[in-house]
Structure 1
Amino acid sequence: MPQLALYTFGVLKAPLADPGPLTRELHDRGEAVYPEIARQPGYVAHAEPAPGGRGTHFALDWGVWGGFAVPRWYGKGRAADRVALAATLSVWTDLRLARDAIYSGLHREALNRRHDWFERTGHPPYAFWWVADGAIPTWREGVGRLEHLHDNGPAPYAFTFPRSFAADGTPGSR
């Protein structure tokens, strides 16, 4: 049975290395959100760097998730003192369960604060697509899907909650 891949990407207002309270708050919130999301029904897995890695997103070993990649519109830098992004890559069993997890609990609280931490870029913040059962999406694939969504709008190749598609390509309910 196909599974659902989800790539999220946001450009932060300040670099991750910024010692300010908003950056610390975002980091602390993320530390609490990830374990809660991982316990939700429908959650399968998410990209995590290999233990013991050092450096920023770009320097870490992501294993089967592939080398870290970002959309073409990200321009804040790749050096540790300039990286200003938040990205996730995960796999879910279905769209309804992913929606329930994302729009509840600590993650819902964080979404309500997203404009405190993230720039409004005019680009989609996430893209879904279907993968074969057991397949692991890569960061580059996620970037490609998000860029396709931005350039072409929702389609079976890359879609959103409001404009979703079933695994067979038929439009979802709206």
Structure 2
Amino acid sequence: MAAFELAQVNIGRLKAPIDHPSIKDFADNLDRINLLAESSPGFVWRLKGDGNNATDLSIDGDPQLIPNMSTWTDIPSLGAYVYRSAHVEIMRRRREWFEPSERPHMALWWVPAGHRPTIEEAMEKLALLAVHGPTPAAFTFRQPFPAPTGDKVSPLLDECA
């Protein structure tokens, strides 16, 4: 068993409440895309609220600012799910449902195997990324860092364009 897992956070502020008709396609696809993640090679864990997703777990009291967090065995496994599965069709439509953000909305970092990151921890990683750019403490697909074990990683340049 690996000593570390890859944590990821992706936050976004919905343009309307989750039950609004303009958000319907996003909401209607949550179960399908979450099941796809859970059945993907390398998937370990994902953050869930009461509705089998995290849309009811608002950030800073804003019900339209929602988190997506998960842990994976490695960067290539998460990259395959994000960029080479049906998830990409939903990701390409994010501008329909989410407000643009000037700050980083996605971060990756390594956690000890079995650790389940909190929303507060994830927000700290996004803040680190905003202030310092990619570092071993918080990074991106474009500039990945190896797990503390020293394994080499290569950027997923084609998928990050």
Sort the TM-score into its range (normalised by shorter chain): 0.7 to 0.9
Aligned to 1:128: 108
Q: Secondary structure at the match of 1:29?
A: helix
Please report how far the alpha carbon of residue 169 of structure 1 lies from its aligned counterpart in structure 2 after TM superposition.
Answer: 8.5
Conservation of the 8 A alpha-carbon contact between 2:67 and 2:119: no
Please report how far the alpha carbon of residue 51 of structure 1 lies from its aligned counterpart in structure 2 after TM superposition.
Answer: 7.4
Conservation of the 8 A alpha-carbon contact between 1:12 and 1:118: yes
Conservation of the 8 A alpha-carbon contact between 1:37 and 1:101: yes
Counterpart amino acid of residue 154 in structure 1:
P
Conservation of the 8 A alpha-carbon contact between 1:16 and 1:85: no
Q: Secondary structure at the match of 1:6?
A: strand
Aligned to 1:31: 31
Counterpart amino acid of residue 31 in structure 1:
D
Instruction: Give yes or no for the alignment of 1:4 onto 2:6.
Output: yes
- Where do residues 17-166 of structure 1 align in structure 2 (5 Å cutoff)? 17-18=19-20, 20=21, 22-49=22-49, 56-58=56-58, 69-70=59-60, 78=62, 83-166=63-146
CA distance in 2: counterparts of 1:113 and 1:135, whole angstroms: 31
Which is further off, 153-162 or 100-109?
A: 100-109
| Higher RCO (Cα < 8 Å, 6 or more apart) | 1
CA distance in 2: counterparts of 1:8 and 1:107, whole angstroms: 13
List runs of 5+ in structure 2 lacking aligned partners: 156-161
Counterpart amino acid of residue 40 in structure 1:
S
Conservation of the 8 A alpha-carbon contact between 2:14 and 2:65: yes
Conservation of the 8 A alpha-carbon contact between 2:49 and 2:56: no
| TM-score with structure 2 setting the length | 0.83
CA distance in 2: counterparts of 1:105 and 1:132, whole angstroms: 27
CA distance in 1: counterparts of 2:51 and 2:100, whole angstroms: 32
Percentage identity across paired residues of the two chains: 31
Conservation of the 8 A alpha-carbon contact between 2:57 and 2:66: no
List runs of 5+ in structure 1 lacking aligned partners: 59-68, 71-76
